[in-house]
Structures are given as C-alpha cells and as structure tokens.
Amino acid sequence: MSMTMERTGSCRRVGVVCGGALLFSILAVPGYAADSDSAAPPQPGAAEHNRVYQIARGAKELYDAGQFQAACAKFEEALAIDSVDPFSRLYLSMSLFRLGKTNEAIDCLDKSKTPEPDDVVGWYNAGVTYGMFGSFDKALKNLNYFVEHFTGDSRLQEARSLIDAFTKAKTTQLTDVSGDQDYFNLAVKEGATRWADNSMPVRVYLGSGKKLPGFDPAFVESVKSACNDWSVASGGIVSFEFVSSAKNAQIRIEWTDDPSVLKNAAEAGHCQLSGNEKGSSLADVILLIRNRSDNSIVSALKMKYTALHEIGHTLGIAGHSMNVRDVMFLGILNDSFPDGISERDTNTLKKIYSTSTTKLFSSDQNAWIANTNQGSAEVNAGHPLAAIPLLEQAVEQAPAEKKNFVRGVLGLAHYNHALNLIRARDMDSAKTSLDKAVELLEIGGDKKNLSKARGAYKFLNAPPQRPAGPPSFQFSR
C-alpha cells in the first residue's frame, strides 16, 4: 500500500488585526416598558409606585427623542418619590452621559441600590453601563458577579467577552499617557500600518446584503456617509472610491445577520487590516445588521456609527481611544452614539498619516507581525526548519491575545518539518515534531491542519516506499 505525503497548505500572512465596536445592550428593567410598548405597568399596590412608573415612562420618551436635559428633570422627579427606582436611576445616569457629564453619570449610578443576589438584569446592566462610562473597575465587579452566579443565562458568552475587553481597556487606561489633543500612542500601541500616500483614493467594495432578511437599503448610504465623514474630517488626506468588484478593492465590506460570524461575542462589527512597512494592503470589514439584544434590525443611525468606527480601523487607527466621546472608543451603550468624528479622532488620524509607513510598521509592536509573515513565507516556500525560530520569536513578541494565533502557525511549521523528516526516514525526530505540531495546532484552533497532523502518525510506521523504476511499455500485437 502506498501513501502520499503532501506539504500542507499555505500559511496566511498577517497584518494589523483590528477589533470592532462593542455593543453594550441594556436589558429591560422588570416592571417597565423600557424596550417595548407592550410591557405591563406594575401591579396595583402603592399609588406612589404607579406614579413613579408613569413619570419614568414619560421621561424615557424624552430620552428616546434626544431631549436629555428634559429627561433628566423627569427622572429626578421620579427619584424624588422613590430614590432607589432602578429604571429611573439607570436612565438618569445615561441622560447625564449623553449630555457630556460623564463624572456625574458615574456618581448617579453609584447611588443605585446594590442588586439583589438573584437580580440578573441589575448586575448585567450595571456592568455594561459602567463599562460604557469608562469606569472599568466597577464594570468588572458587576460582570464578574454575573458570570459567576448566572451560568445558564443566554448572555453569558457576551458578558465574558465584555470582561475580556474591559480588562484590557483597564490596563490600557492605566498606561495611557496621551494628551487631550489625540490618542496616537493608543492607536498604534499594538502595531500599525496605513495606506501609502499614493494609494488614494482607496478602493472600497460594498457587498450586497439584499439576500439577508430585513436588510435595510439605507445601510449602504450609512457606510458611504461614514467614508465621506472621514474624508472631510481628514481635510482630504484620505479619500475613497467605491468599486463594483471585490477583486479590485482595497477595503472589502460585507454584511451579516449572524453574530457568531464575528470574532467577539459583543461586537457590532469587525475589521482585519493587513499590511507591511510599505503600507496597508487589504482591509476586510464585517457589519452586523441585527441587534444582539433582541435580534431586531439595527437602525440606520447605529449602522452609521458602526461603519464610522470600522472605517477608522481600516484607515490605520488599530487601537481604541479611552475617551467615550471619540468615535474610536471601544463601544457604545444602546443608542448612545457620539456626535460624530471628534477632534481627537481627526488629530489622531492626521498624526498617523504624517508618520511614514516604515516607521509605523517597524515599531517594536509590529515585530511579531514581521516575524510571523517571514516565517509564513518560509513555510510556503518549503523551508519549515527556517521558519521555526522566526515563529518562536514571534510567539514571544506577540500581544497576549495574538499568541495562540502565532502558535498555530508555528504548529503548521512543525508539521511540515515532520513530513520532511519522515521522507528522510528519521522517525524519532519526526514523532517529536509531530507531537509539537499537534499541541500547537490545537492551541491555535487550526482544526483542519490539526486533523492532518494527527493523521500523519500513520506514516511513522509505514515501510519505505519502493523507488519508482524506469517507465515500461510493451508493443501491441
């Protein structure tokens, strides 16, 4: 029986992997029609309770209409009657936040009654709201309680994703030395690349979402408007041209109605930007058309915000701002969108485009990308042994959340090296490399190549293949 061994698939080159905008959804507070007109009012009991309910409902209508100052007054009226009413306290803090009074919003939320041990809504809402306000310690305290005590809740995965995001944001916040004018150091902290000066206008392909149930054609204009806003804000430094073919595009934007397609369980969109010292080469964006909270179709306004955020990533703002007023802050709370591209957003973009692509990409933060790309090229060229030290160095250099990805690439190198050793009949060394390959591919989550590596053990005990003889033929009679 003959068995054929083939060098397995190519390693994908990596660039600056950008995240997406997180969506922080507030759960409906029991007893209030916070998100639905069909919710029933509180059962008759205390007339005072019903009075609070009516005032709070009216205040929420003002909030939804964008009349935040008037909403504050009404929520304060409700709280004067019942100082611990959770709905009024929550939305008063959000109204203050929308007015730009973030510290007052946090103080307001601090006065909330500690949720009861079994109050799933209270713990979750407090966590996501504190997170949006940039108070990450308090956000983590509430969300950690949530994941520890409500293990069967449908939002468990989303809560864990928020915990990861807020933990990282807290560390970033503590080391943030950016000034009031921009957040350049955060934008390029984990590596950066940008479009080369001669790349403008950047070609954008916008996929058709018409086959997705509920797709709103207005989303197309939301994205185009977002691109125009960035072009105007940059003073023409960046510009866009929409093209009809994904093959010729530099930025490819697609739609999805499936949240599981995105890499983070709390994201509304995601961007992956590839590039090197010569500049960006390709950006892939996915935009979610449904709200995670209730599976409803997002508004055109929410899509505009998500597009603004993701387009910012495609332009080279790889990291996130720690200021909730910037469009590149890590997320949004319900419909609490920033007014638009802020002055800090603009200044950060301009600073990126006044820095050479070589200097951006050659930073220490990008060393892991360079070594991963070089190692991948060696694997693709059939030189896995040369790739291994490069990829081992890349594992050490990569940020924590990227290490497993690089380990998967390293596992692929070990697998290809093992196949070469098998061909050379060095079976003991081949088994050692296969063992490493399986371990690393499993960590990296590369299921396809993991399966191939496990299957390669059969070659260790296979007899040597007989050398092929000269071609033979016979005359026909």
* pLDDT, one tens digit for every residue, the chain (477 residues): 333 444 455 555 555 555 666 555 666 666 665 444 444 444 445 677 788 888 988 998 898 888 889 999 999 999 998 888 888 988 999 889 888 788 899 999 999 888 889 888 889 888 988 888 888 899 999 999 999 999 988 888 888 888 887 887 777 665 555 667 888 888 887 677 889 988 999 999 999 888 899 899 999 999 999 999 999 999 999 999 999 999 889 999 999 988 877 776 667 888 888 777 787 888 889 999 888 767 788 888 889 988 999 999 999 998 888 777 788 887 766 566 666 899 999 999 999 999 988 888 766 666 777 788 778 878 888 889 999 998 998 898 887 878 888 899 899 999 999 999 988 889 999 999 999 999 999 998 888 888 888 988 888 876 555 444 444 344 433
Residues 200 and 281 in one domain: yes
Tokens of 88: 């009024």
Angle formed at CA 395 by CA 389 and CA 400, multiple of 5 degrees:
175
Those residues whose C-beta lies under 8 Å from the C-beta of residue 123, and which sit 6 or more positions away, are: 115, 142, 143, 145, 146, 149, 150
Could you tell me the CATH number of the domain that includes residue 50? 1.25.40.10
Residues 160 and 28 in one domain: yes
CA 445 – CA 165 distance, rounded (Å): 21
What pLDDT was estimated at residue 164?
Answer: 83
State how far the alpha carbon of 217 is from the alpha carbons of 54, 209, 234, 243, 303, in Å: 37, 8, 27, 17, 11
SS3 24: strand
Within a 13 Å sphere around the CA of 290, how many CA atoms are in the beta-carbon half? 15
Could you tell me the CATH number of the domain that includes residue 457? 1.10.3450
What pLDDT was estimated at residue 369?
Answer: 76
Closest CA relative to residue 8, chosen from 361, 425, 450: 450
CA 292 – CA 298 distance, rounded (Å): 9
Residues 88 and 28 in one domain: yes
Structural domain ending residue among the three candidates 154, 174, 194: 174
What DSSP character marks residue 337?
A: -
Residue 305 CA to its chain's centroid (Å): 15
Residues 86 and 154 in one domain: yes
What pLDDT was estimated at residue 314?
Answer: 92
Residue 218 falls inside a structural domain: yes
Residue 47 falls inside a structural domain: yes
User: pTM here?
Assistant: 0.68
What pLDDT was estimated at residue 52?
Answer: 86
Closest CA relative to residue 113, chosen from 29, 11, 235: 29
Closest CA relative to residue 369, chosen from 17, 11, 32: 17
What pLDDT was estimated at residue 235?
Answer: 93
CA 298 – CA 302 distance, rounded (Å): 6
What pLDDT was estimated at residue 36?
Answer: 42
What pLDDT was estimated at residue 107?
Answer: 92
Domain holding 59, by residue range, is 24-174
Q: Residue 468: what residue type? A: A
SS3 320: coil
Q: How many domains does the chain have?
A: 3
Q: Are β-strands 22-24 and 331-333 bridged in parallel, bridged antiparallel, or unpaired?
A: parallel
